[in-house]
Amino acid sequence: MEQPIRKIIHIDMDAFFASVEQRDNPELRGKPVAVGGSKARGVVAAASYEARKYGVHSALASKIAAQRCPQLIFVKARFDVYSAVSRQIREIFYSYTDLVEPLSLDEAYLDVTENKIGMPSASIIAKEIKQRILEETGLTASAGVSFNKFLAKIASDMNKPNGFTLITPDKAEEVVAGLEIEKFHGIGKVTATKMQSMGILTGADLRQRTEEELVRHFGKVGRYYFRVARAQDEREVQPHRIRKSIGSERTFDNDLTEEDDMLERLQHLSEEVAQDMARLQATAKTLTLKIKYFDFTLNTRSKTYLSEFSSTDAIYTIARELLRMPQLPPYPVRLLGISVSSLTYQHDRLREGYQLTLEL
């Protein structure tokens, strides 16, 4: 029996962090806003569309962002607020389907082939979700609808902000053929540059290459490139994606040189990581401390335990120990980060019938 054509929606919030800040502070509306960092230093976590016109984008050094847009307004990130809004949006998703695969706080895939409201049209559902998000949160989202995840993701990027794009099976190959290679989901800047050097500039160019050739140049992922060039993607929406690590980090306005200042920052980071672990009902066995010095040199220190830990005190105690071993940072520190891995989730412990915790 032939499988029905899947109906996949990709929802992507528009400049999510910055839009939340503009929503909550009317004075920021219509102005270039950067979330995170400052004019002196740091990294932009998100940028409003007004700022993007000047070439300001996420992961850009704040100093460069300020140079590109002198009137840029920097605001402090409020991740607790963004997380709360994200949960609100996901509740909207779950009212239509349980097959929701969150990719981050601001985007997710939904499989609505079969849905809770018995609506045969994925386009109608996507438009209804966009409207509900606007009414319930005051924020806009862009939606892409198609018969697989790759095309749905591509579609949601086509008409941002507040966009809606449908890619039907009869138009799929045409759309992919005309797509610039750097706009392919799953092809990063380095790979795109390599492809361009090989004369692969569009989806049509990519389709001319054999699977063997793509594997030879790009490894196993070459098989994925071969398929998506033909608008093929069999990946299912996975409602229970397992995070492999949980972490938090901060870039400081002024380099840290005193141990007490570093410990104070580690205490805050430990609290944030512990809160995320509690929300996800997770414990960990490995902690990694990330240290970036004034000259951008990166140092990481890790420790793994036989037993699990999850509390703020345990995380802080381990991080403090790693900060001091083998020695305190010998140079001024511009960034500290804590991440935990080797995670176990509550449902795994219940299934396996054990729970070991380490409280230091």
Which residues are catalytic, by number? 107
Strands (E), 90-133: 100-104, 107-111
Rg of the chain in Å (alpha carbons): 23
Tokens (6 digits) for 187: 């092809």
Cβ count within 10 A of residue 283: 24
The reply, when asked if residue 12 is annotated as ligand binding, is yes
User: Is 185 within 8 Å of 161 (Cβ atoms)?
Assistant: no
SS (H, E, C) 175-191: HHHCCEHHHCCCCCHHH
Hey, is 261 helix, strand or coil? helix
Q: Tell me the C-alpha distance between 75 and 77, whole Å.
A: 6
The reply, when asked if residue 255 is annotated as ligand binding, is no
Residue of 167, 161, 201 whose CA lies nearest to 182: 201
User: Is 288 within 8 Å of 339 (Cβ atoms)?
Assistant: yes
Residue of 256, 245, 255 whose CA lies nearest to 280: 245
Residue of 238, 15, 21 whose CA lies nearest to 106: 15
User: Is 13 within 8 Å of 139 (Cβ atoms)?
Assistant: yes
**Residues comprising the binding site for Mg(2+)?**
12, 106
